[in-house]
Amino acid sequence: MQKYHIKRNDLVVVISGAHKGKSGKILEIRPAKNRAVVEGVAMMKRHLKKSDKNPQGAIVEREGSIHVSNLMLQATFDSSKRAKKTAEAKS
């Protein structure tokens, strides 16, 4: 099994890609594809068929996965030059 710089329940920041700058808690790590599921990031819609649970069917939003190379620990990010650049850019 491969070792990662992040683990479940860590607070992380997305450092590249479409969701750059967003942060959240890691819900799950998928080692087979080197990806992680981060709470509130990379949301996607899924259609559910009619069933006992959902008699009308439903469209639900759930988190997608992000490659682990695009994630950085929140503490490391805050102490890095990267956080200072984004703070200056926002002001």
Residue tagged 């992380």 (tokens): 12
Q: Taking Cα atoms as reference points, which of 64, 63, 69 lies closest to residue 2?
A: 69
pLDDT of residue 63: 95
Terminal alpha carbon distance of the chain: 43
pLDDT of residue 74: 94
pLDDT of residue 89: 77
pLDDT tens, position by position, 5-16: 999 999 999 999
Give the chain's domains with CATH numbers.
Answer: 11-78 (2.30.30.30)
Give the up-direction half-sphere exposure of residue 38: CA atoms within 13 A in the CB hemisphere.
Answer: 25
pLDDT tens, position by position, 8-60: 999 999 999 999 999 999 999 999 999 999 999 999 999 999 999 889 999 99
pLDDT of residue 61: 95
pTM for this model (two decimals): 0.81
